[in-house]
């Protein structure tokens, strides 16, 4: 459990209350939680999943692979096709699940994760190749960090983008949105739209 706030007295009272119901031990300042590393400096707090990424690269035999600079090929043409060579469905699903967890600190892979997630029930070797490319991309900078700093303002900004009916199977679009509060990225999401006639353009709120 992570307890956070700017009122130390209230945090102490909460801990005392919880300790009457559960066996608890205060581990001090946050350093590592569920595969997420937290580093605190004078400039801010940095979150990363370096060890988690390196462990997955080791498990999949990709630790010594050649890294790539993009997580997915531009203008990719991934589809569900009956003539494609099928791949191990269980392994594919397991890897997608692990990668979804990576997106908690790596918003730059949110789009490609939403793409490969669409083929969970009929993955092919082409789809597995994309999974391997994502791992090669993570190998490029496994220690990439999500930064939380003080910028001296509380301004809120939102951004959206779309891939413009890129899905060749149903012609639906995948849209993404990012929200910044006080200069820090706090929410991000990428999801295929439910219909094919909704259009979103890139815009700044």
Q: What residue spans define the domains of the chain?
A: 54-144, 153-204
Query: And the tokens for 141?
Result: 């900078």
CA pseudo-torsion sign 135, 100, 106, 32: negative
* Percentage of the residues of the chain whose pLDDT score is greater than 90: 20
The pLDDT of residue 10 is 93
User: How far is residue 97's CA from residue 88's CA, in Å, rounded to a whole number?
Assistant: 14
* Tokens encoding 94: 């397991």
Predicted TM-score (pTM) of this structure: 0.75
In whole angstroms, give the CA distance from residue 192 to residue 165. Answer: 9
Q: What is the CA radius of gyration of the chain?
A: 20
In the chain, what is the greatest distance between 2 CA atoms, to the nearest angstrom? 64
Residue 56 token pair: 């997955």
Query: CA–CA separation, 200 vs 69, rounded Å?
Result: 27
Nearest CA to 134 out of 92, 173, 164, 169 is that of 92
Q: Is the pLDDT reported for residue 203 higher than 70?
A: no
- Is the confidence at residue 54, as pLDDT, over 70? yes
On the CB side of 90, how many CA atoms lie within 13 Å of its CA? 0
pLDDT per residue as tens digits for the range 82-122: 778 888 999 999 999 999 888 888 888 888 888 898 888 88
9-13, 38-42, 92-96, 199-203: which has the minimum mean pLDDT? 199-203
As a whole number of angstroms, the distance between CA 148 and CA 142 comes to 18
State the DSSP code for 84.
Answer: S
């Amino acid at each position: 459990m992570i307890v956070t706030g700017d009122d130390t007295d209230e945090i102490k009272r909460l801990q005392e209350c919880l300790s009457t119901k559960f066996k608890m031990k205060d581990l001090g300042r946050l350093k590592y939680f569920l595969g997420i590393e937290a580093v605190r400096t004078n400039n801010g707090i940095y979150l990363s999943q370096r060890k988690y990424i390196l462990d997955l690269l080791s498990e999949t035999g990709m630790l010594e692979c050649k890294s790539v600079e993009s997580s997915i090929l531009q203008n990719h043409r991934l589809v569900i096709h009956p003539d494609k060579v099928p791949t191990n469905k269980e392994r594919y699903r397991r890897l997608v699940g692990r990668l979804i967890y990576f997106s908690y600190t790596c918003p730059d892979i949110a789009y490609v994760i939403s793409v490969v997630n669409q083929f969970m029930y009929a993955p092919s070797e082409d789809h597995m190749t994309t999974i391997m490319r994502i791992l090669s991309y993570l190998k490029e900078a496994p220690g990439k960090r999500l930064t939380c700093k003080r910028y001296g303002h509380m301004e809120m900004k939102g951004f959206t983008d779309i891939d413009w009916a890129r899905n060749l199977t149903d012609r639906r679009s995948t849209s993404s949105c990012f929200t910044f509060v006080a200069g820090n990225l706090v929410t991000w999401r990428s999801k295929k739209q439910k219909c094919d006639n909704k259009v979103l353009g890139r815009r700044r709120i």
